[in-house]
Amino acid sequence: MADPPPQRSLTADLRWRIGGGILYAALYSIVGGGIVLLRLGPPALGRVLGVVAVYFVSGLAVGAVLGLMRPLGASRARCVAIGVLAALPLGLTVGTLFTIVDGQRLDWFGVVGVAVLCGTFIGVSWWQSIAPRT
């Protein structure tokens, strides 16, 4: 007889995804901060710290959305839809990065594009981590 599925709690779900969000924020901070420093040079250190802060806020937000909505991830399609919703803060982060670096206005089409592309990846990888194994 198969073992029953483990019991989950909201706290465990939040901890599960917020930890992942912080990990991705650290990786994006290294890449994004590096891009800003390469393009603008050492005088842009204040901007880099701002970008890093935005990445960590974004990682926490994405992780919190995924953690809160984990019980709703019953199918691949739902996971992808939730992933796109959760990736909106990431899209805003990328848009903010380009706003800081290039001094342009926020491109909402780009924000949504990043959310759809990254959210699809987030949702599919999330589904693969929680899908029942047969």
pLDDT digits (tens, 9 = 90+) for 15-51: 888 888 888 889 888 887 788 788 877 777 777 787 7
Residue 106: which domain range? 13-128
Please name the residues in contact with 108: beta carbons below 8 A apart, sequence gap of 6 or more.
95
In a domain, 2, yes or no: no
Taking alpha carbons only, the member of 25, 34, 122 closest to residue 76 is: 122
Please enumerate in sequence order all residues whose Cβ is within 8 A of that of 91, keeping only pairs 6 or more positions apart, or say none.
110, 111, 112, 113, 114, 115, 118
Asked if the structure places residue 3 within a domain, the reply is: no
Closest CA to 20 of 125, 104, 134: 125
Percent pLDDT > 90 in the chain is: 7
Q: What is the pLDDT of residue 2?
A: 43
Residue 20 falls inside a structural domain: yes
- Asked whether residue 7 is assigned to any structural domain, the reply reads no
CA distance 54 to 96: 8
Residue 88: which H helix or E strand, with range?
A: helix 76-102
Residue 77 confidence (pLDDT): 93
Banded model confidence at residue 84, pLDDT cuts 50, 70, 90: very high
Distance CA 110, CA 102 (A): 14
**Which of helix, strand or coil describes residue 80?**
helix
Q: Is residue 19 part of a domain?
A: yes
- By the 10 Å C-beta count (0-12 exposed, 13-18 middle, 19+ buried), 93 is classed as buried
Give me the pLDDT at residue 1, please: 40
- Domain-located, residue 5: no
Q: Are 42 and 69 in contact (CB under 8 A)?
A: no
Q: Per the structure, how many domains does the chain have?
A: 1
- Residue 133 inside a domain? The answer is no
